[in-house]
Amino acid sequence: MLLHGLFYFIKMNQNKPVSIQQKFSLFNDQWSPKIIAESNDQLIKLAKIEGEFVWHNHPHEDEMFFIIKGKLLLKFRDKEIELKEGELYVVPKGVDHFPVAEKECWVMLIEPKGTRHTGETDFERSVDEKDQKWI
Ligand code: NI
């Protein structure tokens, strides 16, 4: 209950500027997106990722990766794209992708509420949205 109140308080504080770097300093767990803002039913999230994810796709939503720090390799069935710091890429809905970060990479994601970050694939790295926290 106390935690719930805290998250509500943080959410209500949205009218203040959000420092991306400061938000990244608040967590160290990987593959566990944190919510930092909400806009038009879209959630703006930060995640630290390292290693390989899993092949998956999102049947109903495009997925935007914006690289804040490090590099991210996005493997597709027919090509690979390497994203560097400051670059973004949108994976179209329904397209299989497999993210790989050789070293820890910091990414910002913008997703409609209700998106599962492993798509329809159940995977040990899946974190249900209800378990994703505001920071
Ligand atoms: Ni994805």
Per residue of the chain (135 residues), give pLDDT as tens.
Answer: 566 666 665 565 557 899 999 999 999 999 999 999 999 989 999 999 999 989 999 898 899 999 999 999 999 999 999 999 999 999 999 999 999 999 999 999 998 887 665 555 555 555 666 678 899
pLDDT of residue 84: 98
Residue 30 is classified by DSSP as S
Alpha helices in 25-118 (DSSP H): none
User: What gap in Å lies between CA 108 and CA 34, rounded to an integer?
Assistant: 10
pTM metric for this prediction: 0.81
Q: What is the pLDDT of residue 91?
A: 95
CA 70 to ligand 1 centroid distance, Å: 18
Of residues 59, 13, 62, the one with CA closest to residue 35? 13
Residues, CB-to-ion distance under 5 Å, ligand 1 = 63
Give distance in angstroms: CA of 91 to centre of ligand 1: 8
* pLDDT reported for residue 15: 75
Phi, psi of 55, rounded to the nearest 5 degrees = -65, 130
Domain boundaries, the chain: 2-131
Q: How far is the CA of 97 from the centre of ligand 1 (A)?
A: 7
Question: Out of 3.10.110.10, 3.40.47.10, 3.20.20.370, 2.60.120.10, which CATH number does the structure's domain 2-131 have?
Answer: 2.60.120.10
